[in-house]
Amino acid sequence: MNRIEALVRPNIRALCPYSTARDEYQGSLGIFLDANESPYPTGWNRYPDPHQKALKEQLSAIKGLPAENIFLGNGSDEAIDLVFRVFCTPGVDNAVAISPSYGMYAVAADINDVQVRTVPLGPDFSLPVEALKAACDAYTKLLFLCSPNNPTGNAFDPAELEALIRDFPGIVVLDEAYADFSAKGSLRAKVLQYPNLIVLQTLSKAWGLAGLRLGLAFADARVIRLMSMVKYPYNINQSTQELASRALQEPVDGHIAEIIAQRGRVAAELPRYGFVRRVFPSDANFLLVQVDDADALYAHLLADGIIVRNRTRVPLCAGCLRITIGLPSENDQLLQSLDSYEKGDIHR
């Protein structure tokens, strides 16, 4: 048994996956009497490609990795759930995760009855390398890292991440949902070097397709095969496959550049308010901002029709709001609302 197989849940290692009608015949011409579909063309009367071949080829060209190293999920949330189902025996195995970080790692763990051991980030939200290693035991299958991290916004040093991937005996899930906004780039190419690395990305952020639900996982081909075996056969619907394929032909570099410029602008404006204590450096499309009274400012912004995320009850984030960077005009309105809060004009 190789290193990856040894990490897989025994029942998944032995799984005989569902084989779809379309696994047996893959041509597009013919008389399809194999899948009990309706013959009447509604636009959606045929099942979609369960392997999303065309979309994966397109993403392969964009991301510079072979299609066999790409998994597509119903958002990255599906991939997060699947790694628990593939690798962790409920009630037995555990996962380690940085804290604070994206909330779905813990929710997916709870759903799968897997213990999560959270390790607080170090000073200035740095990667707590030694504490992460110390939190592991013989039953630790997964390590969740997120870079740039949500909600802190910072990206970790790629060399530090790589050293951790190299040393960690289990699977490292590196969530790069916000990597398109970071000058530190992506480690996805490293999946060809480290079979224990899964890199998550999504079309929900920089690509502007949150409503379509398309998440990407990059990993060793064996890991991709395991995730594909466990997923629902037709997890990416026909419309998502078609619309994502169309959207991927339109570059989003202009939007990314504008978000990054606006992030700089808002970050530069915020410290002039007396109630702003700290604007944390961000490599993402949001800013974590510590203020005197997060609940009061949150309520003020809400009353002005501006919805931000109140993170004041999240570990290490007391007093913090997480503010997504919007259109320039939306950021103008945010700053205007902050002006009125400072003056004590309204809603106080």
Which residues form the interface with ligand PMP (CB under 6 A)? 75-77, 102, 146, 150, 175, 177, 202, 204, 210, 215
58 Cβ neighbours under 8 A, 6+ residues apart = 245, 248
Residue closest to ligand PMP when measured from CB atoms: 75
Name the 3-class secondary structure at 222.
helix
Residue 309 CB, nearest distance to ligand PMP (Å)?
Answer: 10
Cβ at position 126, least distance to ligand PMP in Å: 18
Report the residue number, 114 or 177, with the smaller CB distance to ligand PMP. 177
Measured from the CB atom, is 102 or 298 closer to ligand PMP? 102
- Under 8 Å CB-to-CB from 339, ≥6 apart: which residues? none
| Contact between residue 173 and residue 331 where contact means Cβ atoms under 8 Å apart | no
Count of CB atoms situated within 10 Å of the CB of 42: 7
State the alpha helices, DSSP H only, in the chain: 3-7, 10-13, 21-24, 53-63, 76-87, 104-111, 129-134, 158-167, 221-230, 238-247, 253-269, 294-303, 328-343
Minimum distance between the CB of residue 37 and ligand PMP, rounded to whole angstroms? 29
Q: Which is nearer to ligand PMP, 87 or 207 (CB)?
A: 207
CB of 320 to ligand PMP, least distance (A): 15
Shortest gap between Cβ of 210 and ligand PMP (angstroms)?
A: 6
| Nearest CB to ligand PMP, comparing residues 104 and 221 | 104
Residues 48 and 297: their CA atoms lie apart, in Å, by: 47
Which residue number, 163 or 210, has a Cβ lying nearer to ligand PMP?
210
